Structure formats: C-alpha cells, structure tokens
Amino acid sequence: MLDYAWLVLAFPAAGALLNTFLGGSLGRRAVGWLASGAVALAFLASLGLFAQLMGLPGHERSVTVHLWDWIRVGTFQVPAALLVDPLSVTMALVVTGVGTLIHVYSVGYMAEEPRYQRYFVYLNFFVLAMLVLVLSDNFLGMYVGWEGVGLASYLLIGFWFDRRDASYGYYADAGKKAFLVNRVGDFGMALAIMILWTGLGSVTFLEVFAGVEKLAAGTLTLASLLLLLAATGKSAQIPLYVWLPDAMAGPTPVSALIHAATMVTAGIYMIARTYPLWEAAPAASAVAAWVGGLTALLAATMALVQVDLKKILAYSTISQLGYMMLGVGVGAYAFAIFHLITHAFFKALLFLAAGNVMHGLHGELDIRRMGNLRARMPQTARLFTVGALALAGFPLTSGFFSKDSILFAAFERSPALYGLGLFTALLTAFYSFRAVFLAFWGRERDPDLFARAHESPAIMRGPLWILAGLALAGGGLNLPRVLPLLEHWLEPAVGALEIHAGLGLEMTLMAVGGLVALAGIYLAHARYVQEAAWAQGLAQGLAPLRPLLERGWYVEDLYRAAVVEPLWALARFSAQVVDRGIIDGTVNLVGQLHLLASDGLRRLQNGLIPTYALSLFVGVVVAVLYFVFG
C-alpha cells in the first residue's frame, strides 16, 4: 500500500485537471462534487497510509517512497520522493479531512458564483500543493509545495479580481501582497537550502538530519533563522504577518481552508519536520519561541478592536499560529502539532460560520451592524459559539487542552513566555466572545439587515456540525498524562519532550488556564451584554490605546514608508534617471563624440586594418541592402 502513496496526490491532481478541461461541460453542481470527491478520495488514501503505518512497529514508521529522480547536476541530487511517517500522514489527514468538509461547504457557498469552475480547480490545486508540501521527503520538494500553496492562495485571495471595497482595497492587490510578502519568506528558505546543501551535500530530510552535527554551530543557526524567516511568511508571524488580514478578501471557505486550517500552518509543520536542526540550534529555537509569543500577543491586541468579523478571525489566526510557533520554539513539537490540529477544527468552524453570517446578511461583515442574530440563524449562532469556546480555551474543549499543553511546555523553559501566553489567552477569550456577543446576542442594531437575515441551507451547516464535534471533543486526541495518543504517535517523527515538572504543577497551570478563559468570557459578557458600569469604565480607561491598535501598531505604515515606497522611488529613479539619462545618455554621447574624433582615432588604430575593412564591408552591405529594400 505504501507504494501507492502517490495516490494521495493523484486524486486532487486528477480533480483539478478534469475540472479544467471538462468542467465547462459538466454542469455547476457536478464540478463541485467532482472536486469534493477528489479530496475525499485523497482523505481515504491518507487513511490507508495511516492504517499501514499503524501496522508497523514504532521505529519503522518512516517510509520513503521514491517517485523519480527530479534534479541531478553533479553532486546536487534531488529526488521526487514522499516521506510517509506519522507527522506527514497526520498533516495529510488534516488537510484532506478538513479540506473535504470545506469543499462540500463550498458547493453550497459558491452556488451562485459564475466562476464556479475556476474556483474548484484552484481549490483542488491547493490541496495538491499542500500535500506535496507535507509529504515531500526533501527540502526542495517541500519548497515546490510551499510556493504552490502560495500561488493557490494568491489566486484565491484575488479570486474576485475586479472587486474592491473600503476594507480591503482591490482584492487583486491583497493577493499580490500575499504572494510578495511570502516571497520574502521564500528567500529565506531558498538560502537555507543552499547552506544545508553546501555543508552536507544533500537536501533530503533524513540525510540532512543525520549530518547535523557536522555543521558548524554558526552555519546551523544561520540556516535555522533563514528557515524561521520562511515560516514567518507562510505562518504569518512577526515580521511578515501583514499579508494575512488582507487575505480575507478571498471567498470565506478559502479563508477557512487556506488562511486558517492548513496553509498557514505550513511554517509550523516545517519547523516540526526539521526539528533535529532546531534541537541543535537552541539560539534559533529561542528566537522562534519569542517570535511566536510576541506575535500571539500583538495579533490578539489587534483582534480586540476589529469590527470586520473575518478580520477578527484573521488576527486570531495569527495569534494562534503564534502559540504554535511558541510551541515549536520551546521544543514542544507534538504539542504544537496538537494545537495545529485543534485549531484547524475550531478555526475552520469559525470561518465557515462567519461565512454563513455573511451569506445570511448578504455580504455584511461589520459586527457593529449585527446583533441578536441567534434569533434569525440559531444553528449558525450555536456553531459559531462552539468554535469561540474552543478558541477561548473553555475548559475541556479541544483548544483548552492544546493551548494549555503549549503553555505548560513554555512554563518549563521560560516563565516570561508563559506569562505572555497566559495574558494572550485572556485577550483571546475576550475578543472571541466580543464577537459572539456583538453578533449573536443583544439587540439588533440594524433592523433592516436583521429583517432580511436568514439561516443557511443544510449543505452549509452539515460540515460545520462535524467540525463542531471535533472542536469540542478534539482534545481527546491527546489528554495529557492520561491518554497522550498524539504524542506517542508523533514521537518517531518529532521526538519526545522531556517534562520535569510534576503532576501537581501541570494541574495547577491547567486550572489557571481554564480560569483565565472564563475570566475573558466574563469580561466580554460584562462589557457587551450586561454593559456593566465597571466594564464600561475599564473600556473608557483603555480608549486612548484604541487608535494604536486600529492602526495595527503602525507596522504597515512603517513597512510602506521604510520599504515599499523607497523601493518604488528607487525603481523610478533607476528607470528614468540612471538608465535613460546617465547610462543611455553616455552611450549616445560616445556615439556623437566618436563622429567628431574619428580623425584622431583613425590614426591611433591604424594597425587594426582588418577591423576597419570588415566594418566597412559590413557597412556597405548594410547600406546597399537598406537602400534596395528600405
């Protein structure tokens, strides 16, 4: 069966190709179901791989499936090969599993969309690229998927390439921004691969890992930091997170699948995949941990003041990815993957529920115009609330367990990072329930909008109930100490975390985490439902911070002023002044001088008669031909 691992890739590839060439004659529904079926088959194939691995003893659960020799230039040899191991299969299951649900949802969500066929081709292509990313057995193959998902993301963010609105500007520009910011990250990955190859003569994961100790510490740290740069692009961390909020211009199922559940987790996956490098480069790991912790906090503060429902979720995604980055940074790879999985469940759920809100409100996303929507779309309200509970880390939901695992691991390494994460958890619970209360509770703020609001069709609720179930119960994947299934399963691929702290400490931290989540929810309730005087006063007190948060700490302004505008100015200056003015001006001047000075030059170059004879001959031929035909 493992020899057939390529089937996982073949299904979405076939789906994309079939819909490209035959989609036009298939009919709208058929296109959507074909695409969904392709991903569902890929999910089944991934389950097959999972079952195969389960049948092997733990230390043998790492199988390389060679497809063909891809690039060979002397000692630079890169196979096209798949690495089937617990980590890659887990990722494949998440991608195809959540992917299937979102494809099915899309059949309903995009039912009225004229470019239906193109949408599903892109979506299948995305799944293909994502599977290449997670299944490749070497850095360069991963890079293929890495940029492939970037292309899919670019195309889907700018799917409505002719639209613009106040919140996103031209959607096409949002797509371009995503691609370019990610290219800055890709620069890091390309260089890291070059460094590793130059040092070790291989780009295959297992060979690189086997040779890690041969690399100088500085080289290894540099390579790891460059990989981290790549991860901050794809996984929207400081300093490259700025593309993700704009990416919400894409269709909402795309936000759910690509910009929440799967693609943006690629950076986390990449670090977990390459963990032997990070174990050997503790300085780079520490940077990753701090990048994650700070991103989690920064993004959470920005989420506090967003009024666009999808943007709240976008900043929340950045923040949650920050937790995962913090997790890999402190060496808790399995916990980071755990949070990656639960986040895929509850954030996909939240986005799809937001899609239902948008659908039911005819495109409206401003939570200030919503209110009391649970009266008009009760199921969506319940579904969104389940997602928000998991996001807030409400006790016993999936997010509670996975986030607490990371915080626990952080506590062991650095209490400061733990504090950062805990405070972020408070903000998280607050902003998620701010959205819940403002959108679904209270009074209707826009009666017209409220009157026209409606619940979504069954096809747009069914997949959400599955996700809701997973968001609630997903913690069962890895109950700490009691039943750490995921940790054991992933151990051959990402190693085991050594935990020194006792059970008592762990239980205490868990209780603290739960209380913080409850506190955040209570705060939001006091502020937005009870409208308690003290909560209003607190909000008043913090009001001066609001403009700072609304401008996103002026990060975008800084980038624009310090990077984008200067480069544009340099481009214009190079084109107009340097190229046409100085360089070409000099050329033309030389041409004129030459005519003036030709007498003197001729004497100097007298020895080079053949040159002259030939120029003369060619010149005559040219002149004659020109007069004849010109």
Partner 1 sequence: MSYLLSTIVFLPLVGAVLVLGVPGDRARKGVALGTTVLTFLVSLLLLVNWQDTPEMQFVERIAWLPDLGVDYYLGVDGISLWLVLLTTFLMPIAVGYSVLYVRENVGIYMALMLLMQTAITGVFLALDLVLFYVFWEFSLIPMYFLIGKWGSERRVYAALKFFLFTLAGSALMLVAILVLYFQAGTTDILALAERGLPNPVAQLAFVAFALGFAVKVPLFPLHTWLPDAHVQAPTAGSIILAGVLLKMGTYGFVRIALPLFPEAARGYAALISILALMGILYGALVALAQEDFKALVAYSSIAHLGFVMLGIFALTEQGIGGAVLQMVNHGLSTGALFLLVGLLYERRHTRQLRAFGGLWKSVPLYCFFLLVVAMSSVGLPGLNGFVGEFTILLGTYARWPLFAFLGTAGIILAAWYLLTAFRKVAQGPLTDPRNAAGVLPDLRRSEVALLVPLVVMFFLIGLFPNLFLDRITPSVAALQARWDDVQTVSVLQVER
Under rule CB under 8 A, which residues in 545-574 are in contact with partner 1? 567-568, 570-572, 574
Q: Which residue has the tokens 């998280």?
A: 428
Query: Closer CB to partner 1, residue 70 or residue 559?
Result: 70
- Interacting residue with partner 1 among 375, 515, 618, 623 (CB under 8 A): 618
By CB under 8 A, the count of residues binding partner 1 is 71
Please give the backbone phi and psi of residue 242, each rounded to the nearest 5 degrees, phi first: -65, -15
Query: Closer CB to partner 1, residue 81 or residue 140?
Result: 140
308 forms bridges with which residues in the sheet? 366
> Residue 327 corresponds to which amino acid?
G
Query: Closer CB to partner 1, residue 79 or residue 355?
Result: 79
Helices (H) and strands (E) in the chain, counts: 28, 4
Query: Closer CB to partner 1, residue 72 or residue 551?
Result: 72
- Interacting residue with partner 1 among 53, 110, 135, 195 (CB under 8 A): 195
The 3-state DSSP class for residue 67 equals strand
Q: With binding defined as CB under 8 A, does residue 172 bind partner 1?
A: yes
By the 8 A CB rule, do 370 and 423 touch?
A: no
Please give the backbone phi and psi of residue 240, each rounded to the nearest 5 degrees, phi first: -110, 20
Q: With binding defined as CB under 8 A, does residue 158 bind partner 1?
A: yes
The contact mask relative to partner 1 for 586-605 (x = CB under 8 A, - = no) is -x---x--------------
* Angle in degrees, CA 184, 266, 339, rounded to 5: 130
72 forms bridges with which residues in the sheet? 77
Query: Closer CB to partner 1, residue 465 or residue 559?
Result: 559
Q: What's the min distance (Å) between Cβ of 186 and partner 1?
A: 7
Cα-Cα-Cα-Cα torsion 307, 308, 309, 311, nearest 10 degrees, comes to: -110
H or E element in which residue 584 lies: helix 584-604
The contact mask relative to partner 1 for 42-81 (x = CB under 8 A, - = no) is --------------------------xxxxxxxxx---x-
What secondary structure, in 3-state letters, does 189-234 show? HHHHHHHHHHHHCCCEHHHHHHCHHHCCHHHHHHHHHHHHHHHHHH
Q: With binding defined as CB under 8 A, does residue 21 bind partner 1?
A: no
Query: Closer CB to partner 1, residue 545 or residue 583?
Result: 583
- Separation between Cα atoms, residue 551 and residue 133, nearest integer Å: 34
Contact stretch for partner 1 (CB under 8 A) within 168-176, 239-247, 266-274, 407-415? 168-176
Q: Which residue has the tokens 């085991």?
A: 496
Q: What's the min distance (Å) between Cβ of 29 and partner 1?
A: 22
Q: With binding defined as CB under 8 A, does residue 611 bind partner 1?
A: yes
Query: Closer CB to partner 1, residue 177 or residue 525?
Result: 177
Q: With binding defined as CB under 8 A, does residue 610 bind partner 1?
A: yes
DSSP symbols for 437-472: HHHHSS--S-HHHHHH--PPPGGGTHHHHHHHHHHH
Q: With binding defined as CB under 8 A, does residue 198 bind partner 1?
A: yes
Per CB under 8 A, contacts with partner 1 among 444-473 are none
- Interacting residue with partner 1 among 575, 597, 620, 624 (CB under 8 A): 575
DSSP symbols for 343-397: HHHHHHHHHHHHHHHHHHTTT--BGGG---GGGT-HHHHHHHHHHHHHHHT-TTS
Per CB under 8 A, contacts with partner 1 among 131-150 are 140, 143-144, 146-148
Q: With binding defined as CB under 8 A, does residue 216 bind partner 1?
A: yes
The 3-state DSSP class for residue 65 equals strand
Q: With binding defined as CB under 8 A, does residue 246 bind partner 1?
A: no
Q: With binding defined as CB under 8 A, does residue 29 bind partner 1?
A: no
Residue 305 token pair? 């003041």
Q: What's the min distance (Å) between Cβ of 42 and partner 1?
A: 18
DSSP 85: S
Please name which of 502, 323, 513 lies closest in space to residue 400, comparing C-alpha atoms: 513
The pairing of beta strand 63-73 with beta strand 169-170: unpaired
Q: What's the min distance (Å) between Cβ of 467 and partner 1?
A: 31
Contact stretch for partner 1 (CB under 8 A) within 36-44, 243-251, 426-434, 579-587? 579-587
Per CB under 8 A, contacts with partner 1 among 75-114 are 75-76, 80
Q: With binding defined as CB under 8 A, does residue 360 bind partner 1?
A: no
